[in-house]
């Protein structure tokens, strides 16, 4: 089922009508004067000199879905870790159904009925699904037998309609399936009264997300309170009853969703109004800059099957699809780290099939990898060294194997300033930067030389609004100076918002193509679902 995104205002029909009009935190959310399920009062948490949460007040009612919004570093995750017993606050107290409680450990939290699903999952990849369930429920060390666990897991997966076998290894699951295992593992424990989800939808496709939301509504109907950390405003209006916005460790406002707008929440988050879309291309696309013909791979998680397309100068071409349908493999082939078994990749008419990353960089191909922390950066190395990383081939920086470090530092400082990397200085490890600034380091490195062709894979994943906007602006800048951009993304809003055309991948093939603006989402959904035979006006098969 594809839900219309961005439908604003109207509360979900099954939302309980117990949310009061008053959005202020001090007031009890149930207008009838009911005690909130959980209340945070004056919670403060510092790490060294950094104040993560500063005197935060927040009340959550039973049976509400409460969205928690804020830019990266606003203090949302720390606050939720306090509730889950993972972080001890320096100050402030917590009330559970009106009574003061001490949550000193995750066990305390679980005892109360608080379950938290983390942004980065805590599953052990090499174990099976049922073994991961076992881990969550410690038993005497000598107790044997997975049989009852297997039954429980099977029952849960069946109940929620998840296509996962209990004896399947976690490493074989897709990102979406892993999220489900995480969620089910929480629901498998003692009865959950408060469910905390830290960006559960960051890497999910639309239909996977719809399934999660349906489950959340179902839990809400049973009186469970849900706190949802989200970055996408559309999702707030799709699922939440109330929304609290945090900025710089403080609660800025709490609003009933029915009485606010995307624009207001966005402005509260960043402190100023933001553009949510980019203007389209100003001129007609030019000559072909990237040409892919008959690309095939073997031995990949999802092999490419006869993938052919072109990217022209002055256009942003999107690649949509459910995670695991060949987008990663396509990106890796184009990035020079996977060798295709057949087919041809040409940049400006020259064959670059199977060439190396430095050669691609020399040809002006910028590569923004999907996993910036794993593939894009060496987190323990300094910021300037990470900018130097992709530019080592330059003869001005390296002479006879010796790096001209003064020059490399100067160049990095220039690029960091141009790409608005916010750091005290460039001598700190890049791992100390926020996610948005880390991505800017990669953009500075890859786009700093006015790249001719940009291959970007999920470049805005997990970024806050202003960082996301910055990435869009950089991609648009590459387009307007006559470069070509290929943007792989799981976020359909993003693709339809900034792309001139969108290719849809399914099963390792290009299932179809739609134009960017005003595209039919249902059609894209069907193409993503493998409905190759769809015939419609703007589909080119």
Binding residues for another protein, per CB under 8 A?
46, 48-49, 51, 54, 248-250, 335-337, 356-359, 361, 367, 369, 371, 374-381, 385, 388-390, 392, 398, 401-403, 405, 427
φ/ψ of residue 296, rounded to 5: -135, 150
SS3 509: strand
**Nearer of residues 129 and 443 to another protein, judged by Cβ:** 443
How many angstroms separate the most distant Cα atoms in the chain? 77
DSSP string over 260-306: --HHHHHHHHHSS----S----SS---SEEEEEEEEE-SSSSS---S
Nearest-angstrom CA–CA distance, 407 and 397? 7
**Nearer of residues 164 and 368 to another protein, judged by Cβ:** 368
What's the residue count for the chain? Answer: 541
Task: Using alpha carbons, list the distances in angstroms from residue 293 to 174, 290, 296, 297, 349.
Answer: 28, 10, 9, 13, 12
**Nearer of residues 298 and 356 to another protein, judged by Cβ:** 356
Buried b (16+ CB within 10 A) or exposed e, 506-516: bbbbbbbbbbb
SS3 content of the chain, % helix, strand, coil (to 5): 30, 25, 45
φ/ψ of residue 81, rounded to 5: -65, -30
**Nearer of residues 148 and 374 to another protein, judged by Cβ:** 374
Closest approach of another protein to the CB of residue 357, in Å: 3
Token pair in block for residue 174: 């897709």
Pairing of strands 242-247, 225-229: unpaired
**Nearer of residues 115 and 331 to another protein, judged by Cβ:** 331
**Nearer of residues 46 and 168 to another protein, judged by Cβ:** 46
**Nearer of residues 125 and 405 to another protein, judged by Cβ:** 405
**Nearer of residues 280 and 431 to another protein, judged by Cβ:** 431
Closest approach of another protein to the CB of residue 404, in Å: 9
Closest approach of another protein to the CB of residue 55, in Å: 9
φ/ψ of residue 2, rounded to 5: -105, 120
Token pair in block for residue 186: 């929480």
């Amino acid at each position: 089922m594809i839900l219309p995104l961005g439908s604003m205002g109207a509360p979900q029909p099954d939302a309980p009508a117990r949310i009061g009009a008053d959005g202020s935190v001090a007031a009890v959310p149930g207008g009838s004067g009911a005690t909130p399920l959980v209340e945070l009062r004056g919670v403060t948490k510092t790490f060294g000199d950094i104040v993560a949460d500063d005197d935060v007040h927040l009340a959550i009612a039973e049976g509400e879905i409460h969205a928690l919004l804020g830019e990266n570093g606003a203090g949302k995750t720390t606050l939720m870790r306090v509730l889950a017993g993972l972080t001890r606050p320096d100050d402030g107290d917590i009330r559970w159904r009106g009574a003061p409680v001490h949550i000193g450990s995750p066990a305390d939290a679980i005892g109360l009925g608080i379950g938290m699903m983390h942004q980065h999952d805590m599953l052990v990849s090499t174990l099976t699904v049922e073994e991961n369930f076992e881990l969550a429920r410690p038993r005497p060390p000598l107790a044997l037998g997975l049989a009852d666990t297997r039954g429980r897991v099977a029952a849960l997966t069946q109940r929620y309609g998840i296509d996962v076998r209990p004896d399947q290894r976690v490493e074989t699951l897709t990102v979406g399936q892993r999220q489900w295992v995480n969620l089910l593992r929480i629901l498998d424990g003692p009865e959950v009264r408060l469910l905390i989800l830290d960006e559960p939808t960051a890497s999910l496709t639309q239909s996977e997300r719809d399934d999660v939301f349906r489950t959340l509504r179902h839990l809400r109907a049973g009186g469970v309170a849900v706190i949802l950390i989200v970055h996408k405003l559309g999702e707030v209006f799709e699922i939440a009853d109330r929304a609290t916005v945090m900025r710089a460790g403080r609660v800025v406002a709490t609003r009933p969703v029915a009485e606010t707008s995307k624009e207001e929440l966005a402005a509260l988050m960043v402190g100023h109004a933001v553009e949510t879309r980019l203007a389209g291309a100003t001129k007609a696309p030019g000559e072909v800059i990237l040409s892919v013909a008959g690309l095939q791979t073997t031995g990949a998680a999802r092999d490419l099957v006869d993938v052919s397309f072109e990217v022209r100068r002055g256009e942003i071409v999107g690649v949509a699809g459910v995670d695991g349908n060949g987008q990663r493999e396509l990106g890796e082939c184009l990035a020079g780290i996977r060798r295709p078994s057949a087919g041809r990749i040409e940049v400006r008419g020259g064959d670059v099939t199977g060439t190396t990353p430095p050669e691609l960089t020399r040809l002006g191909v910028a590569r923004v990898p999907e996993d910036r922390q794993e593939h894009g950066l060496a987190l323990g190395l300094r910021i300037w060294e990470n900018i130097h990383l992709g530019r080592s081939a330059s003869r001005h920086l390296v002479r006879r194997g010796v790096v001209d470090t003064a020059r490399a530092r100067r160049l990095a400082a220039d690029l960091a300033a141009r790409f608005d990397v916010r750091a005290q200085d460039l001598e700190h490890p890049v791992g100390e930067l926020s996610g948005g600034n880390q991505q800017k380091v990669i953009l500075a490195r890859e786009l700093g030389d006015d790249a001719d062709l940009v291959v970007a894979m999920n470049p805005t994943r997990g970024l806050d609004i202003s960082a996301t906007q910055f990435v869009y602006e950089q991609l648009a800048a590459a387009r307007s100076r006559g470069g070509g951009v290929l943007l792989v993304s799981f976020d359909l809003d993003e693709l339809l918002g900034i792309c001139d055309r969108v290719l849809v991948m399914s099963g390792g093939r290009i299932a179809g193509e739609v134009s960017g603006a005003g595209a039919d989402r249902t059609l894209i959904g069907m193409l993503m679902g493998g409905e190759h035979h769809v015939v419609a006006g703007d589909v080119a098969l």
